[in-house]
Chains A and B, each alone.
Chain A
Amino acid sequence: MSHSPKAPALRMGIPIPNSKLGMWLFLGTEIMFFTAFIGSYIVLRLGSRGWPTDYNDTHINVLLGGVNTFVLIVSSYCVVVAHEAMALKNFARARQFLWVTLILAFVFLGIKGVEYKGKIDHDILPGRIPETASQAVKKVSNQLEELVRERFSRYIDAGVVSYPQPGDILNVANLIREIPNGERPNELTTEQFEQWKTSAAADYALFLKWQDLHEHVVANVSLEYPAAPAGFLEARTKLKAGEKPPEITLDETRKRLNEMKANEQYGALVSAHVFDPHPIVYGNIFASTYFIMTGFHAIHVIVGMILFIIVLKQGSALNEKWTDWVENSGLYWHFVDLVWIFLFPMLYII
């Protein structure tokens, strides 16, 4: 370097190493990165007329969040101790504490995973949450449709029925209805065919249930949107002509769904494929902000873990050359902790 160590008095700048200065500057940029997310969250939340806070809507568990906060604080503590040990050249101790940090990071991610699973199990995912009763009804109908299509495609795949447009669900349904009365295709043994016959009856029954629901849904939706997409136009003309099937309420849908679930032929299928309708006002924007903030935080956790793994890979060869590294990854780790310190009250408590 031009400013050789021989003339330290002449060194310009501030008395911290480049790497630490760089890390601090980088953390400054990170603050702005999270500011964008957190700021958007705050204003979007304030701008909405209601925000899901009920546990049944959000499946946010304060206790899990609290434990995770605790986990991060312990890990932060371990990092400072590790760094202190590095500075005192007690590398074995430093390694111990870094290991604890790393393990705690895994624990954090594990708990995070549990939380995410809770949301996935209830389909609290952005873009998939019904916000109004009619959207909830529609979602049930859509999921039933998916199920019906899936069931029907089995017949086509197995060659029990054949139809040039397997997507044309109405005509396929007619064919399936006829299976119990029809001839056995040659490829199938009688035994197999008997099985198909029973399932055909069940699937057709399910189809009818779905179709009935669907008609109501179309009526509902087309009423809601004045300039609705093409599929609904037809329904609208019908509506004009007075053929309006009655609107269906959410309660009615729930009742029907429960009936379907109780059915012994196809109930298990329905339970597995169709979520209970549960409209959450502003649920989608809530889930969007929740996942983007915790998601990017989790990514930062993973990056921090990588930094620690690199140190730990040195094993017993760890030496004072790594002190700066540990200090800087420690700074980074504290920042990750800091973000969580703010996310915790904002997401879990308020």
Chain B
Amino acid sequence: MATITPALDTHTHDDHAHGHGHHEQSFISKYVFSTDHKVIGIQFLITTILMLMVGGALALAVRWQLAFPWENMPIIGRLFGLFQTEGGQISPEFYTMLFTMHASVMIFLVIIPVLAGAFGNFLIPLQIGADDMAFPVLNMLSYWFMWPAILCFGISFVAGGATAGPGNGWTSYPVLSDIASAAPGSGAAQTWWLFGLTLVGVSSMMGSVNYMTTIINMRAPGMTLFRMPLTIWSMFITAILQAFALPVLTAAGFMLVFDRLHELLPTSIHSGFFIPSGLVVNNAAPTVGGGQPLLWQHLFWFYSHPAVYIMLLPAMGMVSDMLSCMSRKPVFGYKPMVYSMAAIAGLGFIVWGHHMFTSGMNPALGMTFMTSTMMIALPSAIKVFNWIGTIWDGNIQFNAVFLNCAAFVALFIVGGLSGIFMAAVPVDIYFHDTYFIVAHFHYVLFGATLFGVFAGIQFWFPKMFGRLMSDRVQKVHFVLTFIGMNGTFFPMHLLGIAGMPRRYADPYLHGYLEHLLPMNQFMTISAIVMGCAQFLLLGNFFYSIFRGEKCGRNPWQANGLEWSAPSPPGHGNFDVPPVCYRGPYEYSSPEAEALGQDFILQTSPPPAGVVRTAVAHH
């Protein structure tokens, strides 16, 4: 088979059918308050890319402080200087705000919405052959609930005065986050932060019910469960995780809000779920309560551990799709891939305690959580090996999509393996809350998920806009990001081993950490390189929307249903109602060879006679 360069493909229908869905719609209902899942998906995508910039800028400020403590920040410093009397200098409470908001933005406004919101929305109906989501209006609301959330997070920056943004970490442990006198950022800022969190939760909630309903009930004829692309499986499992885990966080969030009621309203009424009585915080009157702070940690991690898989599984699914396509080979072990995702989700509900190994948790619980955490590496291992098996002896297309996916696998291994150290309780006793943890989760979140997202953006870009992104620019972006990412985060493992605690505004205050300053400076420089590289992505993305090379329906010669729709698909998606005849990964199959190509669309009917059995199967 010839190497495929993404270009105008000649195999499928022409591009003329595009216009069929054009009803006269106003600009507002078409592009702003649209109920079309594709528009909503793209809205989510663009919003999250912009939020990535915000979160990244905050990260760079964090890095600045760690490399050049208490020195005036160059450009960003002046930006933040607007809010702040110290000029460009970061004060310690400002530092706590920086990493809190960095993590909140990255997790709640970038990773979760880009995976479920952007790709989930865009891909689910297209890949299962539906004309839209089951509940389009709900879908639109799920996007428009993001903005109040962004607004609340935005207000929280300034609500507490110049330097008092929410500063309790994204984990927001009480009692620190519960009592206004505990920290400058625990007042109004924390309240707004909690509102933001709740709104993000509502948005995800609406999305997840919608995704589950759509996937269960709106598949095209012939699209049996085990003919669904792994992307769909991953979205489905992610939606289940969200549906069952998120309400618990929402409930806990309400409890925290009610604990803080007297800081919110002029009343002395407030609950005490997380406040033990008799604490004297910052010389204020002793607390009235009767609750327990560990309750929050349990409820929070009951959500937030499944959430880290919410932040990974969709990327895993998408990468499986892309690796298979770019290797022109079926996914190795499709069913094990599905089962292992399900196992990750199932086990993901019973490992949350591994974030609390040093918290004074009951040791019996500690042992249970350790064992289950170790076990969760098993399905991950299966997936890693199957990805390698998928590439093995494939006809690999070395484009940026593939490279990003390969980086996903490579970096996920690193992040996952560092998880093993932390899963072992005695070792975690040393590593907990050191930079080893920071290294771990940046490898899985940035190294794995974001690289998967970079690949996904380029892969499905043609379907979104009918044009291709420049592969060359994406390759440069890939190299710079990959090097910058490893330069920034790999040394963090060593910092962690050296015992450098996280969330420290100035670690060098402690003698045994002083000599780590040069290494931190190196990491900051790498981070800046990586940050600058993101402008390539940004530029390429927006340039290609208008100027990219035009392409047909199936530029990658892939198999999924989405590739049989026009690029971009009109309202209602498919010009020919799709019927699915086979699994999504029949690359290089004999059937395809018979047609003289190395792919065969899920919709392309088998030779007459076979049709009946294939469809009647259900």
Q: Which stretch from A121-129, A155-163, A201-209, A334-342 is at the chain B interface?
A: A121-129
Q: Are B248's CB and A284's CB within 8 A?
A: no
Q: Are A284's CB and B289's CB within 8 A?
A: yes
Using Cβ atoms and an 8 Å threshold, which residues of chain B touch A350?
Answer: none
Q: How far is the CA of A275 from the CA of B248 in the complex (A)?
A: 37
Q: Are B135's CB and A127's CB within 8 A?
A: no
Q: Are B209's CB and A128's CB within 8 A?
A: no
Q: How far is the CA of A129 from the CA of B289 in the complex (A)?
A: 9
Using Cβ atoms and an 8 Å threshold, which residues of chain B touch A288?
Answer: 258, 271-273, 290-291
Partner of B223, one of A12, A135, A296: A12
Q: Which stretch from B74-82, B214-222, B374-382, B424-432 is at the chain A interface?
A: B214-222
Q: Are A36's CB and B270's CB within 8 A?
A: no
Q: How far is the CA of A34 from the CA of B286 in the complex (A)?
A: 31
Q: Are B289's CB and A29's CB within 8 A?
A: no
CB distance from B418 to the nearest CB of A (A): 31
The prevalent SS among residues of A at the interface is helix
Using Cβ atoms and an 8 Å threshold, which residues of chain B touch A282?
Answer: 290
Q: Are B288's CB and A284's CB within 8 A?
A: yes
Q: Are A126's CB and B272's CB within 8 A?
A: yes
User: Is the C-beta of A33 less than 8 angstroms from some C-beta in chain B?
Assistant: yes
Q: How far is the CA of A40 from the CA of B222 in the complex (A)?
A: 45
CB distance from B278 to the nearest CB of A (A): 7
How many residues of B are in contact with the other chain, CB < 8 A? 61
Using Cβ atoms and an 8 Å threshold, which residues of chain A touch B273?
Answer: 40, 44, 285, 288-289, 292
Using Cβ atoms and an 8 Å threshold, which residues of chain B touch A34?
Answer: 251
Q: Are B284's CB and A229's CB within 8 A?
A: yes
User: Is the C-beta of B476 less than 8 angstroms from some C-beta in chain A?
Assistant: no
User: Is the C-beta of B368 less than 8 angstroms from some C-beta in chain A?
Assistant: no
User: Is the C-beta of A228 less than 8 angstroms from some C-beta in chain B?
Assistant: yes
Q: Are A28's CB and B262's CB within 8 A?
A: no
User: Is the C-beta of A227 less than 8 angstroms from some C-beta in chain B?
Assistant: yes
Partner of B219, one of A12, A128, A230: A12
Partner of B213, one of A21, A30, A125, A225: A21
User: Is the C-beta of A10 less than 8 angstroms from some C-beta in chain B?
Assistant: yes
Q: Are B217's CB and A29's CB within 8 A?
A: no
Within 175-227 of B, Cβ neighbours of A (below 8 Å) are at 205, 208-210, 212-213, 216-224
User: Is the C-beta of B346 less than 8 angstroms from some C-beta in chain A?
Assistant: no
Using Cβ atoms and an 8 Å threshold, which residues of chain B touch A14?
Answer: 216-217
CB distance from A127 to the nearest CB of B (A): 4
Partner of B269, one of A36, A127, A229: A127
Q: Are B247's CB and A30's CB within 8 A?
A: yes
Q: How far is the CA of A48 from the CA of B290 in the complex (A)?
A: 8
Q: How far is the CA of A43 from the CA of B296 in the complex (A)?
A: 12
Using Cβ atoms and an 8 Å threshold, which residues of chain B touch A33?
Answer: 247-248, 250-251
Q: Mark A270-311, 1 if CB is under 8 A from B, else 0.
A: 000000000000101101110110001000000000000000
Q: Mark A31-42, 1 if CB is under 8 A from B, else 0.
A: 011111100100
User: Is the C-beta of B491 less than 8 angstroms from some C-beta in chain A?
Assistant: no
Identity of the chain B residue whose Cβ is nearest the Cβ of A36 in the assembled complex: B251
Q: How large is the interface on A (under 10, 10 to 19, 20 to 34, 35 or more residues)?
A: 35 or more
CB distance from A249 to the nearest CB of B (A): 20
Using Cβ atoms and an 8 Å threshold, which residues of chain A touch B574?
Answer: 2
Interface centre among B131, B221, B252, B278 (most CB of A within 10 A): B221
**Given the interface contacts A2-B220, A28-B244, does A44 sit within 8 Å of B286 by beta carbon?**
no
Q: How far is the CA of A128 from the CA of B289 in the complex (A)?
A: 10
Partner of A10, one of B222, B246, B280: B222
Q: Are A12's CB and B292's CB within 8 A?
A: no
Partner of A26, one of B209, B261, B577: B209
Using Cβ atoms and an 8 Å threshold, which residues of chain A touch B220?
Answer: 2-3, 12
Q: Mark B250-276, 1 if CB is under 8 A from A, else 0.
A: 111011001001100000111111000
Q: How far is the CA of A13 from the CA of B216 in the complex (A)?
A: 5
Identity of the chain A residue whose Cβ is nearest the Cβ of B285 in the assembled complex: A229
Q: Mark A192-215, 1 if CB is under 8 A from B, else 0.
A: 000000000000000000000000
Interface centre among B130, B258, B290 (most CB of A within 10 A): B290
Using Cβ atoms and an 8 Å threshold, which residues of chain A touch B292?
Answer: 44, 47
Q: Are A1's CB and B280's CB within 8 A?
A: no
User: Is the C-beta of B299 less than 8 angstroms from some C-beta in chain A?
Assistant: yes
Q: Mark A8-31, 1 if CB is under 8 A from B, else 0.
A: 011111101010011001101110
Using Cβ atoms and an 8 Å threshold, which residues of chain A touch B261?
Answer: 127
Q: Are A125's CB and B269's CB within 8 A?
A: yes
Q: How far is the CA of A37 from the CA of B252 in the complex (A)?
A: 8
User: Is the C-beta of A181 less than 8 angstroms from some C-beta in chain B?
Assistant: no
Q: Are A22's CB and B247's CB within 8 A?
A: no
Q: Are A36's CB and B252's CB within 8 A?
A: yes
Partner of B255, one of A11, A40, A125, A229: A40
Q: How far is the CA of A125 from the CA of B288 in the complex (A)?
A: 12
Using Cβ atoms and an 8 Å threshold, which residues of chain A touch B248?
Answer: 32-33, 35-36
**Given the interface contacts A13-B218, A32-B244, A125-B269, does A284 sit within 8 Å of B290 by beta carbon?**
yes
Q: Are A7's CB and B221's CB within 8 A?
A: yes
Q: How far is the CA of A14 from the CA of B389 in the complex (A)?
A: 34
Q: Are A29's CB and B244's CB within 8 A?
A: yes
Partner of A126, one of B134, B209, B213, B269: B269
Partner of A18, one of B213, B245, B578: B213
Identity of the chain B residue whose Cβ is nearest the Cβ of A44 in the assembled complex: B291
Q: What residues make up the interface of A, taking CB atoms closer than 8 Å to B? A: 1-4, 7, 9-14, 16, 18, 21-22, 25-26, 28-30, 32-37, 40, 43-44, 47-48, 125-129, 131, 135, 225, 227-230, 282, 284-285, 287-289, 291-292, 296
Give 7 pairs: A residue, B residue, CB < 8 Å, sorted on A. Answer: A2-B131, A12-B219, A32-B247, A35-B248, A131-B288, A131-B290, A282-B290
Q: What residues make up the interface of B, taking CB atoms closer than 8 Å to A? A: 129-131, 134-135, 205, 208-210, 212-213, 216-224, 243-248, 250-252, 254-255, 258, 261-262, 268-273, 277-278, 280, 283-286, 288-292, 295, 299, 573-574, 577-579, 615, 618
